[in-house]
Amino acid sequence: MATWQLELQPPPREPRALELWLQHAAGRILLEDVRAYAVEKLDKKLTAKARAVAEQAIDDALYGVMMVLDGVTGAISNAEQQVELSVQVKLIQKSNRQVIAQQDIMAGDEMCMGYHGWLEGDYGEIPVAKYKLEAGAE
């Protein structure tokens, strides 16, 4: 399922809860728009064993991305300089594009730790998103 099929839920107001909620939202985006996309692209004719190996490879690759986002890996440096990636997760007011809240992923509570829960569908205590109802469904 892609994130366009989800409806964002109201964010918490308490600052610490909002930080965690934003991190879970980032995880939900990555799991839905990266992992689920890659799994969907797998050949439907794969054996169960081949599918399991392919899904593990997808999970390992995405975990590698999480390590880069956390700053565990992903920096190229010399004695004087360093290049690293920085990714922001932002809560934006759609009507005027105003940033309501934002957080640098590297400054968060570790995407690598959250990843294992996200694989199990755990996106925190305060819901980030719910599935949009299909037309005509209740």
Q: Are strands 6-8 and 129-131 parallel, antiparallel or unpaired?
A: antiparallel
Q: pLDDT tens digits for 23-44?
A: 999 999 999 999 999 999 999 9
Backbone angles phi, psi at 65, to 5 degrees: -65, -40
Euclidean distance between CA atoms 99 and 117, whole angstroms: 27
Euclidean distance between CA atoms 125 and 118, whole angstroms: 12
Enumerate the domain spans of the chain: 6-131
Please give the single-letter amino acid code of residue 37: Y
In whole angstroms, how large is the CA radius of gyration of the chain?
A: 17
**Between the CA atoms of 120, 115, 61 and 106, what dihedral angle is there, to the nearest 10 degrees?**
170
Please give the single-letter amino acid code of residue 95: S
Q: Looking at the predicted structure, is the pLDDT value of residue 134 above 70?
A: no
Q: pLDDT tens digits for 49-92?
A: 999 999 999 999 999 999 999 989 989 999 999 999 989 999 99
